[in-house]
Amino acid sequence: MGTEGDSRISQFRKGVVELAILALLHRGEAYGAEIVDELARHPGLAISSGTVYPLLSRLKKAGVIDAMWRESPVGPPRKYYRLTDFGNAEFDQMAVAWGGVSEAMDVLLEEGAQR
């Protein structure tokens, strides 16, 4: 697949990773490197810190997440992110929407594979 195809896949992943970050923070607060490491555990997402940090910044500016420095049990203080009330509502909406999209895509891809 050429560069254009790679860009499309990258763009597709970036759309998904926003929901992935919200899902992570829905479980509980986390700091930046923790979010990057957690996403890196899922090869399908293949997202680098160069994508995650700008996204965190954007979500914070949009009021979806909040950030606050906290003392760390080991090492220096870290900046922890958490969902705001608005972010929680956004996540609920997006999760429902994703369920519908995922279900529809599964059907379409399965039908495509059978042909």
- Chain residues that interact with another protein, rule: CB under 8 A: 4, 7, 10-11, 14-15, 32-33, 48-51, 53-54, 56-58, 60-63, 67-71, 77, 79
- Would you say 15 or 43 has its CB closer to another protein? 15
Q: How far is the CB of 79 from another protein (least distance, A)?
A: 6
Instruction: Please say which residue, 12 or 106, places its beta carbon nearer to another protein.
Output: 12
Q: Which is nearer to another protein, 10 or 102 (CB)?
A: 10
Report in angstroms how near the CB of residue 74 gets to another protein at its nearest: 16
Conformation bin of residue 81: beta by default, left when phi > 0, alpha when psi is -120 to 50: beta
Phi-psi region of 78 (alpha: psi -120 to 50; beta: other; left: phi over 0): beta
CB 98 within 8 A of CB 19: yes
| 3-state secondary structure at position 114 | helix
